[in-house]
Homo-oligomer: A and B are copies of this chain.
Amino acid sequence: MTDVLREVGMIARALDSISNIEFRQLNLTKGQYLYLARICENPGIIQEQLGELIMVDRSTVIRAVKRLETTGFIIKKADLTNKKIKHLHPTQTGLKAYQTVIRENNYSTCVALHDFTNQEQEQLERLLTRVRKNVAIDWEFVKKGNHRQY
């Protein structure tokens, strides 16, 4: 019954582990590739949204982004009208590193799906998107302090 979730967990940990090892050569520490990629793909995004996109805690985002800033991969820009928010943009260095991140991620996807037909790949993606949306509802519910009944 819980097997599906376990497979997902194992796959996620293994791939994250591989990426973290491989991206050390880019001077990206654990997990940073996630934030960098999303910022490069959504320039101007704010930290709050980044957390929702990646599904991690706000405080985690803030610290990961701070590190990316001090190491020169991204910059924070103030908003013209809203004093509270800060827009995130990649630097040249960030975009350069992003190329490698994408190449690696694509390679991992190929490895993960190497014996899959096109149809199976599409099927898996469709199913996973539905799972993610289902799970997101409960994640936000529980993160807000609500209790699930089971």
Contact = CB atoms under 8 A, between A and B. Distances in A.
Contacts of A78: none
B10 A54 contact: yes
Interface residues of A, number: 59
B124 A4 contact: yes
Interface string A87-127: 00000000000000011111111011111100011011101
A9 to B, nearest CB: 5
A11 B131 CA distance: 7
Given A107-B150, A112-B131, A131-B113, A136 B4 contact: no
Contacts of A109: 1-2, 4-5
Chain A interface SS verdict (over half):
helix
A15 B22 contact: no
Contacts of A129: 7
Contacts of A108: 2, 5, 135, 138
A58 B67 CA distance: 27
